[in-house]
Amino acid sequence: MLLKSLEINGFKSFAKKGLLEFSTPITSIVGPNGSGKSNAAEAFRFVLGEQSIKSLRGKKGEDLIFNGAAEAGRVNRASVKLTFDNSSKFLPIDFDEVTLERIVHRDSVNEYLINGSAVRLKDISELLASAHIGSSGHHIISQGEADRILNANTKEKREMIEDALGLKIYQYKKVESERKLEKTKENIEKVESLRRELAPHIRFLRKQVEKIEKARLLREELVVLYKEYLKRESSYITNEKERIHKEMHAPKIELTELEKNLAEAKAVLEASKTESTKTFELMSLEQALREVDTNKNELLREAGRIEGEVHSIERLIRREKEALMREDTKTVYLRDVEVVAKNIEGLALEANQVSGIEEIRSLVQKIKEELRAFVEHNKGVVTTDEVASYENDLNELQTKRNELEDKIVSIKSDEISFREKIVFVKSEIDKDKEGSMEAEKNIFKIMARQNELFAVVSSLRGEENRLALEDEELKRELEEARVLGGREAVSYDEYEIKNINGEVLSFETILSENRTVQHDRRRNIEKIKIRLEEMGGGGSEEIMKEFRDAEERDSFLAKEVIDLEQSSISLASLIKELEDKLNLEFRQGIDKINLAFTEFFKKMFGGGHAGLRVVREIKRKRGELSEIEENFEGDTEEEYEEGIEIDVSHPFKKVKSLMMLSGGERALTSIALLFAISQVNPPPFIILDETDAALDEANSRKYGDMIESLAKYSQLILITHNRETMSRAGVLYGVTMGAGGASKLLSIKFDEAVAVAK
């Protein structure tokens, strides 16, 4: 058995954990209406990943959780576990036993687990799809859904049959291939559009390349002109720099010497002006000395005042200590008196409570001893709080006196220092009284010669500045030459300038040329540069590169179109193969289903014939044509789609359509078709939820025979009220619901029951 067990806990009416074990080919679940037996079928849908709460007869996730009753409180989550025997590896997972579990919480949050490990819903769906199992496939037929295949239109019937035959995978591949084909066609259109956009640009670049070729010849001429121009200009600037440097050397040396002589003369003249400065310094020192004397006098007065206070406090301390030594002036603290008074009051209170004279005398004696002890204690105590206060004041005054004495010593040292400085400055003033007439004459001579040299240097500076501008211009021209002519245009160092006869010109001959000739040469260069600029020669490398890139891109796009067209052909071929395979397997599946359908139909009705027929219908969109327009003959193309019709031939009466069958006959027909489909492509298990509800006793026996036949291919779980159907099961599970409102499971194995009965 591939299906081993189903564990339900908190799901719908199953308040407590219930376990259904499937150890026989046919397992039946029975119970009265409303007991919750159909909840077992919905538990299968739930754990297999059903996402439609409506299909599970609820409005929200919370409706799937047991909500409590009179004798049982509500639970906070519902869980369902489904266990498979995977020893045959019908599920592509490396476990011999696979347990799927789904948990829903009150906040509608779902958890999915495979063998206890958390996974995604997608993982469970992919795992089950490989074994042809789904949450709402043809292998789970709930109450009222058995007749759905008969009522469906032709297209829906075809989709149901394809799903049952396992052909959906081809449909998915076909749809995916069609999507890729459409995408490929869009890409082809995009690539061709890019090529159309690129073509004018390539034509433009081709014309630019032709201009570049013409500009190349001009550039070669420009390189020759540049070499001669740069060679002559560089030689001229180098020679001029050397000349100016030589002419400026001697004046600079003389100016340096004159500056030194001028500094010495100024120093002599400046020395004669220091007398007033030293006089001012002397006045400042005398003023500082007066301030030091003033501060010293103030400190001495303060020290005298503190000394008087110290003597006064020392007298007070001596007087206070003498007074404390006399008993008539002793002081007693109030807190000590309060303690004695409290002790005496306690003894007096104790005396009021006794009646014996001896006891009273004893208490009086204790009071006397208390008073005597207090007096003796205070005789020997000397209260020194006041003395301590005076001594603290004395210590503070002595500290201040010591600080003042230190300051007085320091300020006396400053006074001595100032007096010594005053004596020194007075002696210096006497030395600075010599004249400076000779120094002034030297200064005037030096300054006159400096002015003459400054004029010469200024003239050379002007030439130097002019030359610097020409040098900057040469550098800019070098940069332009490098851009327009490349490295060859600026490689002029080894270039040899020749005359008409081909003779190499010397350096002196090059320098002797008139500057106007060089200016004319510069104008010719500018003319060629303008022509190159008009021809776009300045960015030739970029244009050539862009032209090559554009051609390469066009070639790449052309190859891309070829590849996409090949891919399109391959996809179209794949779609055709899928369609052929789909049609072939579909028709083969229809033939197999028809054989089984006829066999089951004959079992049900005792004869007759039933089968599926492929029909073609015109494919129409909503609102496409009216009835009048449909009758109009035109040149419009009609698109067809295939569907499925069901043909039946009753053995005892003529029936032209399914609508002419009775309710029971329709139920038998739908059951026969569903069983035929399941037998052709059997799933691991099939759940039938009261599909036999409309059958009478005779047809129930036929239904039971078909069940036993189908059980050879798939494991069956039957939810039924029918006794005949129950009798075909190996295990019977009973679902009951007591006053508490919760479903409970009871089970019986018929083999064991028969053994017990015997």
Mean pLDDT of 97-116: 92
Percentage of the chain modeled with pLDDT above 70: 85
Q: Are 715 and 2 contacting, i.e. CB atoms less than 8 angstroms apart?
A: yes
Q: Coil, helix or strand for 692?
A: coil
pLDDT given for residue 100 in this prediction: 94
Nearest in space to 81 (alpha carbons), one of 3, 2, 5: 5
In one-letter notation, the amino acid at residue 19 is: L
Q: Are 87 and 94 contacting, i.e. CB atoms less than 8 angstroms apart?
A: no
Nearest in space to 610 (alpha carbons), one of 593, 592, 598, 595: 598
Continuous segment of H or E residues that includes residue 560: helix 540-605
pLDDT given for residue 633 in this prediction: 45
Q: Are 750 and 733 contacting, i.e. CB atoms less than 8 angstroms apart?
A: no
Tens of pLDDT, residues 391-450 = 787 888 788 888 888 888 888 788 788 777 777 776 766 555 444 556 667 777 877 777
- pLDDT classification of 101: cutoffs 50, 70, 90: very high
Exposed e or buried b per residue across 472-487, where buried means at least 16 C-beta atoms within 10 angstroms of its C-beta: eebeebbebbeebbee
Q: What is this structure's pTM?
A: 0.48
pLDDT given for residue 117 in this prediction: 92
Vertex 360, ends 354 and 366: CA angle to 5°? 120
89-93, 647-651, 733-737, range with the lowest pLDDT = 647-651
- Structure tokens belonging to residue 239: 């020679």
Tens of pLDDT, residues 626-683 = 444 444 444 445 566 778 888 888 777 776 667 777 777 777 787 888 888 877 778 8
d(CA 226, CA 230) in angstroms, rounded, equals: 6
d(CA 379, CA 375) in angstroms, rounded, equals: 6
Question: Is the model more confident about 271 or about 677?
Answer: 677
Crossing angle (nearest 10°) for helices 515-534 and 437-485 = 40
Tens of pLDDT, residues 584-611 = 888 888 888 888 888 888 887 778 888 8
Phi-psi sector, 486: left (phi>0), alpha (psi -120 to 50), beta: left
Tens of pLDDT, residues 333-391 = 677 788 888 888 887 887 777 777 877 778 788 888 878 887 777 765 545 566 677 77
Sorted by sequence, the CB contacts under 8 Å of residue 222 that are 6+ apart come out as 484, 485, 489, 525, 528, 529, 532
**Is residue 579 scored above 90 in pLDDT?**
no
- pLDDT classification of 51: cutoffs 50, 70, 90: confident
The domains found in the chain, sorted by start residue, are 1-139+685-758 (3.40.50.300), 276-429 (1.10.287)
**Is residue 267 scored above 80 in pLDDT?**
no
Nearest in space to 52 (alpha carbons), one of 38, 40, 64: 64
Long-range contacts, stretch 514-518, CB < 8 angstroms, 24+ apart = 515/236, 518/229, 518/232, 518/233, 518/236
Place of tokens 């003597």: 311
Continuous segment of H or E residues that includes residue 213: helix 168-271
- Structure tokens belonging to residue 134: 């789904």
Mean pLDDT of 283-297: 75
| Paired residues of 733 in beta bridges | 29, 747
- Structure tokens belonging to residue 94: 């490396």
pLDDT given for residue 433 in this prediction: 47
d(CA 608, CA 605) in angstroms, rounded, equals: 7
- Structure tokens belonging to residue 361: 């005398």
Mean pLDDT of 680-703: 81
pLDDT given for residue 428 in this prediction: 66
- Structure tokens belonging to residue 608: 């007759």
